[in-house]
Chain A
């Protein structure tokens, strides 16, 4: 069956029913693609396992981060609702009734993440405030009619799920034809009356603690609603507020000013607005990184380049956590897909078990790893031979190496956090404000070779005592949290330092009296003054008699420095790092942040080629058709090719026809026309 036709644009292909039943499992594609399909099944399973874990972890994080926001929102809703109740009893204050309680939720520009937030918000509200939660998007509501239709249909769907489902669906179908605020409020009184006798139902324990729960309407993207629809709706619903208790939630991506820009004063005065700010996406990213990458919980790691690319996409393109996670997923997939040894990229006991089942081929793969080769070269010659020839010996060695790698990582992150405590508060942030920047630098190279590190240490040597002590206390907490033996002693060292600082306070008074500058009062000429000043300078430089605090500070800084030098080695120095580190940054960039424009440009880049190629073609054609074809025909062909070139340019969007003059086209690229 062909897929081109002059009368049709869609072609459906359905295989026989029998065939369709056998759908190919996903992992088969995982195997087929690569020739070296070592342990591919296991690899794919590991991929899925890790990905599931990561995904659930991020979801958990999201929930945790939203919890605060949701709690305050729910609190607001409750308060405003109880206001309803009170004033409805107290029939006198009609005016207050006109005000619709409104929560303006400022979510930031990462629009793609909002969906997730709203989904969990809806859930939380349904559990805690009211069963009637409706969320609308601007694209569904081009005008008032659609707005109400959507509102009604969603409301009725929601509650009909709880009640008699069949009856409800019929109702919906009927109601869709004509919707008005009147019908809505009558529906509402109907429903609340109906549910009243059924109060003691299991399902609504918390939500129907009030007699008539309010209707919560979430406008997901407030900015994109048309002003007219919004205004009309607000005016109308404020009229009906006494019979149809409504609470609005605006999702705002930009700034709260937008409310006043969209709504004139007459309308916005009908709202009782309270602002809620969600967590900034950068903080969100930091926590995600913290929990997913800066931990030994997940064996999978990113190389410096990859991490850089992912954070750059995040910071410079979309601020979207979801996209970041997508990038992470892709790199995970790519890693397991392209690296046969990734089979060992799992938790330590499992990896040790798997080592025993490694095939000869895989052993060969390990021997070919550059980091492993470097490791072998450092060994004694007998051991070298054994590693390269004896499989069993090799496997044992791999086990210990993997263990070392694990220990390396757990130490690495502790020291990294500790260093971050020190550097994050320095002026001008020589090593970055965020831990991810520090992590990137550490991944890239020996951090102590960098200028920034040196200047950071210099700044550390000037820290005041109380600053230093708070940092040390934080570090102490970090080290205390782990049970590693080696670094346990570090915690002890820090504790000692802290104690010494405490002791300093008592010894302080004694020092104050000594070391005053009595010489400065002597009368001298300029020459002598200069000389004595120089001497003093010299003296101060070589002065061994620092204060005790300075000595101690020096000690602390040196201690940190030694920690960094010992534990923050870049991962490339570790044997077998290839197993857990994903390094192919360019594929990631290619697939996530592609530049089709550049691809087109490069393909069409050098005009000289075309000229030359054209000449070649023309002469070649000439040689061939020298006898047979006339020049007229050749011209025809050239003409035809020219026409094709023009149509293709048009398709590619380089030119477009204009109405200015006959046969004119406008250039669309390279600076417009």
Chain B
């Protein structure tokens, strides 16, 4: 059940949009689950307690305040008492929450039922947005004002779940301080090199951020540092046991950025205003610098991904089956409504491909129908129309334009009323079909009396594709079919972010195109590839300038004049093999818009052959 993972993603999206932090969060939660399991080993029961967004945020994001203010350790020691007091008080509340949230499975089931029965249009809003509600909002406000008044106090508050200080304050003293200084310097220089033009304010935030970031990465990204790992686990335990309310952190973090002396000068109101804006702007600036490259685990390709996923047995399969059986009962109704001039659109979470496929096999066997995979990356309206004209209507001609073709089809269907056609479109809202023109054409098709359309949409903003005119063309009846089944087929076309692009398609097309060229042209292209691969590590590489390229080609006896090279390049450009870009100095730069792995493979093949 991949949807469970979504929560993590959601949490991180709400906080910090970076994959590596997402991954580390996943690991963190996983470890958390492990740990609590250890604790409760006696009764062999796992109890996950609710961890608020911001607790997790803490884990991922910096402890900027902590790192920054460690120097003022004296204050901290004074305030330890307070630190320990507060968490206890919060613990009770969280326990209640856990109680409330038990029997979640039943609730889940009921939710589905409910959303099935009522369109959930009216009462949905409340439920939906409760996601963002914070339960202790009043307390938060109180806390915020408190913090604003006494800038010193927050020092202690924000530090309170730093385990090193609470548990072993003495031993961490010297060690972590020196550590910190060193790291800070490192990061500073690093940051300055990457973003030299940053504003001062901007500099402050990421730096303090990456401070703790690097402090953490030793333990978190599994750098086999045993001691650090222990520390880390301590942290988790502390978080888990004390249940430090996340809200404190969220508030205290921005406050801490202010230096106390600055604050004294301002009066209270402007202070609050400032605080507000900082609290709201800070989320934008704070991004973690962890990347997938730092991760040990490599990108998976589609095949291994599929293999791995097939090992996971789907949960709640009985419930899901029940759900889909409910939808299957609607098949005849759908047919009726289709025949009466409505078109049907299915929406809701989960792949609706299997459902439509079952619809097709149960009721459409005896009629002509076309299945269109909207998620197929190469789909286009043209290909849809072609398959209608060529395969359904057996027409062997060509058309001047798509509109002509549409007119022809429309006339054909209007003339012959005995002709009937069912269109099944999976993902009508896919990248390729969501364009205005495509939708217009499909809408016009579907408005015909003897063409019946049943389609599915998945994208959150899919209904925005249709204005009133299109909606009246489509004449939709909406059906919510939340299936919760994974989008296996829909996401299998190697267009996902994290899937390694195997690149077999571009590679083969590259080879095909180049085979049709003259040996000289191939040589020219190889030169460009080599140059591009040589400059792999150069981040400021923008391409090979035309003059340099010409020089190189001349030296290799590939061209004899400026013009021949240009002619060659035009041919490349027509095949979309190269892209030209004007540099800042006005010179033309040439670039191959294919990823480097593919290019390397290509070169290897070429060498093998020759």
Interface residues of A (CB under 8 A from B): 3-15, 19-20, 22-24, 26, 29-30, 32-33, 110-112, 139-140, 318, 320, 322-323, 326, 329-330, 333, 337, 586-587, 589-619, 622, 635-655, 657, 661-670, 673
Question: Which of A8, A26, A594 is in CB contact (< 8 Å) with B339?
Answer: A26
Bound: A24/B41 CA distance, A: 63
| B309 in the interface (beta carbon within 8 A) | yes
Contact call B120/A14, Cβ cutoff below 8 A: no
Of A608, A641, A643, the most chain B CB neighbours within 10 A belong to A643
Known A10-B370, A22-B366, A618-B30: A599·B480 in contact at CB below 8 Å = yes
What residues of A have a CB within 8 angstroms of the CB of B318 in the complex? none
Bound: A98/B543 CA distance, A: 58
Bound: A603/B46 CA distance, A: 25
| Chain B interface residue number, banded | 35 or more
Min CB gap B378→A, angstroms: 6
Question: Which of A589, A595, A617, A647 is in CB contact (< 8 Å) with B491?
Answer: A647
What residues of B have a CB within 8 angstroms of the CB of A610 in the complex? 3-8
Contact call A637/B26, Cβ cutoff below 8 A: no
Contact call B124/A602, Cβ cutoff below 8 A: yes
- Chain B's closest residue to A658 (CB) is B17
Contact call B115/A651, Cβ cutoff below 8 A: no
What residues of B have a CB within 8 angstroms of the CB of A635 in the complex? 297
Known A599-B480, A664-B19: A614·B7 in contact at CB below 8 Å = yes
Can you list 29 residue pairs at the A/B interface with Cβ under 8 Å?
Answer: A10-B372, A14-B391, A14-B392, A29-B332, A30-B336, A33-B330, A111-B469, A318-B471, A337-B336, A592-B477, A593-B478, A596-B457, A605-B111, A605-B131, A606-B131, A607-B11, A610-B8, A614-B5, A616-B315, A617-B1, A617-B315, A636-B297, A640-B300, A640-B312, A643-B305, A647-B499, A650-B496, A653-B460, A670-B132
Known: A32-B332, A608-B101, A637-B308. 16 other contacts (CB 8 A): A4-B489, A6-B493, A13-B371, A15-B368, A23-B366, A589-B119, A599-B480, A599-B482, A604-B349, A614-B7, A616-B315, A643-B300, A648-B491, A654-B9, A654-B13, A663-B18
Contact call A615/B348, Cβ cutoff below 8 A: no
Bound: A533/B499 CA distance, A: 92
What residues of B have a CB within 8 angstroms of the CB of A597 in the complex? 460-461, 463
What residues of B have a CB within 8 angstroms of the CB of A662 in the complex? 291-293
Bound: A7/B376 CA distance, A: 9
Contact call B469/A112, Cβ cutoff below 8 A: yes
Contact call A648/B378, Cβ cutoff below 8 A: no
What residues of B have a CB within 8 angstroms of the CB of A600 in the complex? 347-349, 460
Min CB gap B343→A, angstroms: 11
| B141 in the interface (beta carbon within 8 A) | no
Interface residues of B (CB under 8 A from A): 1-11, 13-14, 17-20, 22-23, 26, 29-30, 33, 37, 46, 48, 50-51, 101, 104, 107-108, 111, 115, 117-122, 124-125, 127-128, 130-132, 287, 289, 291-293, 297, 300, 304-305, 308-309, 311-312, 315, 329-330, 332-333, 335-337, 339-340, 342, 347-350, 357, 360, 364-376, 378-379, 383-384, 386-388, 391-392, 403, 420, 440, 457-463, 467-469, 471-472, 475, 477-480, 482, 484, 486-487, 489-491, 493, 496-499
Contact call A647/B487, Cβ cutoff below 8 A: yes
What residues of B have a CB within 8 angstroms of the CB of A616 in the complex? 46, 315
Known A12-B391, A600-B460, A662-B292: A590·B312 in contact at CB below 8 Å = no
Contact call A15/B365, Cβ cutoff below 8 A: yes
Contact call B491/A594, Cβ cutoff below 8 A: no
Contact call B26/A26, Cβ cutoff below 8 A: no
Question: Which of B29, B125, B391 is in CB contact (< 8 Å) with A614?
Answer: B29
Contact call A586/B392, Cβ cutoff below 8 A: no
- Chain A's closest residue to B32 (CB) is A615
What residues of A have a CB within 8 angstroms of the CB of B458 in the complex? 651-653
Bound: A94/B387 CA distance, A: 55
What residues of A have a CB within 8 angstroms of the CB of B2 in the complex? 641, 644-645, 648
Min CB gap A106→B, angstroms: 17
- Chain B's closest residue to A665 (CB) is B17
Known A595-B119, A607-B7: A650·B348 in contact at CB below 8 Å = no
Contact call B6/A618, Cβ cutoff below 8 A: no
Contact call B120/A9, Cβ cutoff below 8 A: no
What 9 A-B pairs are tightest by C-beta distance, nearest first? A594-B478, A590-B119, A9-B376, A9-B379, A647-B496, A610-B7, A603-B349, A112-B472, A645-B5
